[in-house]
Amino acid sequence: MRKRYIVLTAYIVFLLLPIYWLINMSFKTTNEILGGFSAYPREFTLDSYRTIFTDPSWYGAYINSITYVLINTVISIVVALPAAYAFSRYRFLGDKHLFFWLLSNRMAPPAVFVLPFVNLYSAVGLFDTPWAVALAHTLFNIPLAVWILEGFMSGVPKELDETAYVDGYSFPAFFIKIFLPTISAGIGVAAFFCFMFSWVEMLLAKNLTSVSAKPIVAAMTKTASTSGYELGLLAAAGVLTLIPGAIVIYFVRNYIAKGFALGRV
Amino acid sequence: MALELIDIAKRVGSETHIHPTSLVLPEGSFNVLLGTTLAGKTTLMQIMAGIQKPTSGTIRFRGKDVTGLAVQQRNVSMVYQQFINYPNFSVYDNIASPLKVAGMDTAEIERRVMAAAELLRLKPMLKRKPSELSGGQQQRTAIARAIVKDSDLILLDEPLANLDYKLREELRDELPKLFAGRNAIVVYATTEPSEALLFGGNTATLHEGRITQFGPTSSTYRLPKDLLTAQVFSDPPINTTRVEKRGDKLHVFGSKVWPAGQVGSGLPDGVYTLGIRPHHVTPLPTDVTTGEIEGRVLVTELSGSESVIHLDVAGDTWVSQSHGIHPFEVGSHATLHVDVDRGLFFSPSSGERVS
């Protein structure tokens, strides 16, 4: 029994160490970070955080990121819901092939799409807007959302649909009032994965923006090269980047396991 | 004034789910659809409800053609084998949902929901969600929703199949009372012949997408039109054997000779398929048994007051169902007694009943 705890504790320490070190660094001055090894901040400072919350080029980057992530999540879910319903309820020519093809979209590396996207969005005037990133990310997120939602929808017996029609519900009324609340867990899980992919994806986000829509992932790498080493600032930005994900995962933690059980996450 | 199915057929791709079928269900009647799994009971009910469209044929309700009418426009209710309720609604809202969709005023909805909840003993659970109820209560909720709106047609698709024994008995007793005095046509699908007999009313026997017979339950049971109907409407399965009738004797299994009896005597000499229901085969001779079979005991199932004995008779399995406990050792040789007078004679070629 004792042994098991030791292994588990060692594993958790191993996992949490980099996160602790990031937090640790974010409260240090850059001089202290570069000066030597210290397990906790000797000169505790909130300067890094103060800079981020007052400098528009920092907090603006967060707002940009949050904007395109939210747009992307909403588009992905809204588009994926009817598609997933069709895949789960109807049989049509080539449905299984189409379903698999959707998923295979996710297997392409984002780098492949950088060039066409940049060229395309420049041509239509979307370059350097949150919409550019949001739309680019739907290429990966809609297939994922369809895949996850289809699993949850197929877990709802089709007799529920029929009962609603028998009771007099029209299709839209049934879908919104009964079906969506029934699969709300699935929507939560799908939204979580769309959110996380879009939040951490860097290549497309960085290349599809320049100044006005620069996301936080791009801002973080840039600062490292321009004004020398501002490691404290970067660490603070890193900590703040972790927080939204932590908040979202808190809300869907109970449903994620269900998604895994359905084999869809 | 009834629901009429006229030459209804359903094909999906190259598969035929329902062969052309005609059926007239009178208003206020209780009808049982009896058949094994995949016999087409659910498909037929969905066609009646309008959830599925028939490939060909016409459905008329009260003289009006409703074939193309969407299910929402028909006044029907349906209860499924799985306990289907809206998981995000409370029990009250579940029962009230068809009335709310119809736009009934709140006071009237409340009055009706309360009445239905009272009938199905759901009053203490009205505020709960379906997932917080037992299986029996969930199915009661579904039934309450089906009866709350005064439907013209109430379809019950094996509603008791997923309930445990006690709840099933309980709800089975209550069901006919719920529908008594309503003007609705009730259709009840089941795989169990005993349920059909308990409910009475009319029974339609289904076999592989065909209705083999439709009529009052007791006459369908006693006087099946053909062998298929007798097989569908018998549990344990009806025993059948080839008999050759010569004079006033029946030659069975090549060796036994039975008296032709009251029924068989009237038939012309020839070969027949004889059907004997399991409860007309008894371990002990009685005043009415006139024939005997011998064979090896395969299985004996003894319940509290009943014995079911499976006997291997020259390669055929015969089943006897009788009152009392009759322990037979498996593998032993046994003689059972047959009430030949209660036998049903079928034509071996067409399967139609000839006696």
**Inter-chain contacts counted by CB atoms under 8 A, chains A and B:** 53
- pLDDT at A228 (0 to 100): 66
Please give the residue of chain A at the shortest CA–CA distance from B42.
Answer: A159
Under 8 Å between Cβ of B229 and B36:
no
Q: For residue range B98-146, what is the model confidence (pLDDT) as tens digits?
A: 999 999 999 999 999 999 999 888 999 999 999 999 988 999 999 999 9
How would DSSP label each residue in B303-315?
Answer: ETTEEEEEEEETT
Single-letter residue type at A76: S
d(CA A223, CA A225) in angstroms, rounded, equals: 5
d(CA B274, CA A230) in angstroms, rounded, equals: 97
- Which is more confidently placed, B327 or B53? B53
pLDDT tens per residue, chain A (265 residues)?
677 889 999 999 999 999 999 999 999 888 788 888 888 888 888 888 998 899 888 899 999 999 999 999 999 999 999 999 999 999 888 888 988 888 887 788 888 888 999 999 999 988 989 999 999 999 989 999 999 999 999 999 999 999 999 999 999 999 999 999 999 889 989 999 999 999 988 888 888 888 888 888 888 876 555 556 778 888 899 899 999 888 888 888 888 777 777 666 6
d(CA B2, CA B48) in angstroms, rounded, equals: 12
Length, in residues, of chain B:
355
d(CA B157, CA B82) in angstroms, rounded, equals: 9
Please give the residue of chain A at the shortest CA–CA distance from B155.
Answer: A166
In a domain, A167, yes or no: yes
Q: Count Cβ atoms below 10 Å from residue B320 Cβ, excluding itself.
A: 26
- pLDDT at A224 (0 to 100): 56
Residue in B51, B80, B102 closest to A165 by CB: B51
Q: Tokens for B41?
A: 């009971």
Return the DSSP state at B282: E
- pLDDT at B138 (0 to 100): 93
Under 8 Å between Cβ of B317 and B308:
no
In a domain, A5, yes or no: no
d(CA A187, CA A201) in angstroms, rounded, equals: 21
d(CA A64, CA B125) in angstroms, rounded, equals: 49
Q: Tokens for A10?
A: 């060692």
Burial (Cβ within 10 Å: 0-12, 13-18, ≥19) of residue B124: exposed
Under 8 Å between Cβ of B294 and B255:
no
Which residues does chain A have within 8 Å of residue B131's beta carbon, measured at their own beta carbons?
none
Under the banding of pLDDT at 50, 70 and 90, the label for residue B180 is confident
Query: In angstroms, what separates the C-alpha of A177 from chain B's closest C-alpha?
Result: 9
B314 closest CA partner among B289, B295, B335: B295
Q: Which CATH number fits domain B239-346: 1.20.210.10, 2.40.50.140, 2.60.120.260, 2.30.30.180?
A: 2.40.50.140
Please tell me the total count of domains within chain A. 1
Single-letter residue type at A7: V
Say yes or no to pLDDT of B294 above 90.
no
How would DSSP label each residue in A113-124?
Answer: HHHHHHHHHHHH
Query: In angstroms, what separates the C-alpha of B97 from chain A's closest C-alpha?
Result: 7
Q: Do B49 and A167 touch (CB under 8 A)?
A: no
Residue in A157, A170, A184 closest to B72 by CB: A170
Q: Do A167 and B82 touch (CB under 8 A)?
A: no
Q: Going by DSSP bridges, is the β-strand pair B64-65/B249-252 parallel, antiparallel, or unpaired?
A: unpaired
Q: Do A168 and B72 touch (CB under 8 A)?
A: yes
d(CA A238, CA A220) in angstroms, rounded, equals: 8
Q: Going by DSSP bridges, is the β-strand pair B281-282/B2-12 parallel, antiparallel, or unpaired?
A: unpaired
State which fold the B2-232 domain adopts: Rossmann fold (3.40.50)
Under the banding of pLDDT at 50, 70 and 90, the label for residue B96 is very high
- pLDDT at A158 (0 to 100): 92
- pLDDT at A142 (0 to 100): 93
Segments making up each domain of chain B, as ranges: 2-232, 239-346
Q: For residue range B2-17, what is the model confidence (pLDDT) as tens digits?
A: 899 999 999 988 888 9
Please give the residue of chain B at the shortest CA–CA distance from A173.
Answer: B101
Under the banding of pLDDT at 50, 70 and 90, the label for residue B261 is confident
Which residues does chain B have within 8 Å of residue A178's beta carbon, measured at their own beta carbons?
86, 88-89
Q: Do A166 and B84 touch (CB under 8 A)?
A: no
Q: Do A169 and B49 touch (CB under 8 A)?
A: no
Which residues does chain A have within 8 Å of residue B88's beta carbon, measured at their own beta carbons?
178, 181-182, 184
CATH number at residue A67: 1.10.3720.10
Is this complex's ipTM strictly greater than 0.90? no
Please give the residue of chain A at the shortest CA–CA distance from B154.
Answer: A166
Please give the residue of chain A at the shortest CA–CA distance from B99.
Answer: A167
Which of helix, strand or coil describes residue A258?
helix
In a domain, A12, yes or no: no
Q: For residue range B231-245, what is the model confidence (pLDDT) as tens digits?
A: 999 988 899 988 888
Interface test with B, best of A89, A166, A179, A184 (most B CBs within 10 A): A166
In a domain, A223, yes or no: no
B253-265 mean pLDDT: 79
- pLDDT at A226 (0 to 100): 56
- pLDDT at B89 (0 to 100): 94
| Domain enclosing residue A107, as ranges | 60-215+234-261
B83-110 mean pLDDT: 94
Q: Do B98 and A168 touch (CB under 8 A)?
A: yes
pLDDT-above-70 percentage for chain B: 99
Residue in B70, B77, B84 closest to A160 by CB: B84
Under 8 Å between Cβ of B71 and B51:
yes
d(CA A22, CA A239) in angstroms, rounded, equals: 7
Do the domains B2-232 and B239-346 sit in the same CATH topology, yes or no? no
B198-223 mean pLDDT: 91
Task: Tally the C-alpha atoms within 13 A of residue B92's C-alpha that lie toward its C-beta.
Answer: 11
In a domain, A173, yes or no: yes
In a domain, A94, yes or no: yes
